[in-house]
Chains A and B, each alone.
Chain A
Amino acid sequence: MIEEPYRWVEAISNRREYIEHQLATGSPIAALTYNDGILFLTLSRERQKIFEIYDRIAMGVIGHPGDIERLRMAAIEVASTEGFTRSTSDVSLRRLATYSLSPALKTAFEQVYGAPYLARMLFAELGRKNERNLFIRIDYDGSIHTNGGSHLRTFEDFGVISGTTASTNAMEKFLRTHNFADGDLANALSVALDTWTVGNLTLGEEPREELPAPDQIAKHRAEQLANFVIEAAVLEQSARLPITYRVLGNAELEPFQRQN
């Protein structure tokens, strides 16, 4: 059926529709810069969605658990092997994403007789001295979206993923109107929770111009916190060891979980 080019395009577009449908209910994940590093946050019922990849790299992911596991392991293996054979400072998210993950995802996506990866990933890398933090979103088809770095584009201090484009756009729009990069962790947690709420509110919607009103966000946030649990981790500049990843514990999250 796919010998003719038109059929192939049709097959690809069908599977894109299928995957988008599968991912559409995914809980949003926000990653943002604060004064001591990067915060990852999402709300979930049970399954872990935020993972450590290497000393300065973390990942948040939505999709099928089996596919998530394979991609996570692949990322860890590539980073660890490079860190061992060269040096830990040679491990870079940009190279991991563009040379390892993206081609593999694209191949799996376009080989229409095989199964594609059902996953959408958000990676962040803690910047070294004088470097900005890097946020990269990689989709099931291998397409990459970064937070800037080319000329004529300003760097953004965040990255988000969500089940739908409308929700992703809304979260990005929300973050563009808020300050958090120079604030402390508590402020970042609060902004990230609101961002998640905006993403969750707009999941099922058509793309639209205006964001949900602040009181609507506050109300929805309180409702969701009654049903879901906050999952959060940080990459910390002030970490004593080269390993900068740390999962936030109950003591740090409870005020936010209970406050509503």
Chain B
Amino acid sequence: MMEARAGEPQRTPMPEDFAALLRRQGHFPNLPTQAAASQTNFLQTQATTILAFKFADGVLVAGDRRATAGNVVVYDRADKVLEIDAHSLMAIAGVPATAWEMARVLEHSFQFYRRSQLQEMSLDGKVRALSKLLRDNFGFVMQGVGIVVPIFAAYDVGNSAARLYFYDAMGAQFEVADYAATGSGSAAVRSILYYENTWGKKPLQKWKHDDAVVLALQVLETAAEADTATGGVDKRRATFPIIKTITEAGITTLPEKTLAKIYKKQVG
């Protein structure tokens, strides 16, 4: 575990990042092997349709609950909106196996950085860290496994502003002003959010919390209407989308009971 002390200095001026530490210890995948490419008929489990938009208090992130492999529904209670730290969330479309591992690496990276360097990693540093993980994963993507297209949302407490990014599979990060959506149902989601933001009663950033939640439920229902890979609301089994908000105070997850009430009153 801990190396017996040798004479040479162990710390470089640039602090080691957590992913590099894991790799050195053999706990994190290196480059993909050839074997991955030969499995052409392999159906990966995929998670679909996530969205995020800024509203009056901060940023709202929502995701449906369905995970699919080809035309099979693998799971209908998947959690695609993952808490990374007190003020940042990662939402995932793509292969959960890779995405959940990325979220785990990120979560530990940020804490590892804070504990070892005795300061919080900057928001730009966090955004870049996810970009680097996606870039490292691109070898797998090219071989046909493990594509992840995430959204990263955070509240910048220092500047009192919500920040929102989406990524492509290669790791390019795009900061957006108002909203982002990725996954198979995202076309419908983007259309509605664009419409509401441009010609609606007021821009999304002025929407109040409760109205924003209703909108998120409505757009996910719309996405599920035409996309089989997006799970809608299953009232019988009380399966609702995951909706989380980040505000100055931190992250809040909407309880299912609240969602059920809102859904019954204003959506269903």
Contacts and interface: CB of A to CB of B under 8 A. Distances in A.
B104 A70 contact: no
Interface in B1-54: 1-5, 7, 10-11, 18, 21-22, 25, 27
Interface stretch (A23-31, A46-54, A204-212, A214-222): A46-54
Contacts of B2: 74, 77-78, 100-101, 104
B11 A81 contact: no
25 contacts: A51-B118, A53-B115, A54-B115, A70-B5, A73-B10, A76-B115, A78-B2, A80-B18, A80-B21, A80-B111, A81-B22, A81-B25, A83-B108, A84-B27, A84-B108, A99-B1, A100-B1, A104-B3, A104-B4, A107-B4, A108-B5, A111-B4, A115-B5, A241-B85, A241-B86
Contacts of B1: 74, 78, 99-100, 104
A80 B116 CA distance: 10
A91 to B, nearest CB: 11
Interface in B67-104: 85-86, 104
B115 A52 contact: yes
Nearest to A95: B1
B11 A69 contact: yes
A104 B5 CA distance: 8
A68 to B, nearest CB: 12
A80 B5 contact: no
Interface string A32-69: 00000000000000001001111000000000000001
Contacts of B27: 81, 84-85
A196 interface: no
Interface of B: 1-5, 7, 10-11, 18, 21-22, 25, 27, 85-86, 104-105, 108, 111-112, 114-116, 118, 250
Interface size range of chain A in the complex: 20 to 34
A77 B24 CA distance: 12
Contacts of A52: 114-115
Nearest to B114: A52
Contacts of B4: 104, 107-108, 111
Interface in A10-30: none
A69 B5 CA distance: 13
Contacts of A101: 2
Which 5 residue pairs are nearest across A and B when measured between Cβ atoms? A100-B1, A104-B2, A74-B2, A84-B108, A80-B112
Given A70-B5, A80-B21, A81-B22, 6 more contacts: A73-B11, A73-B116, A80-B112, A100-B1, A104-B5, A107-B4
A115 B21 CA distance: 26
Interface string A93-112: 00000011100100110010
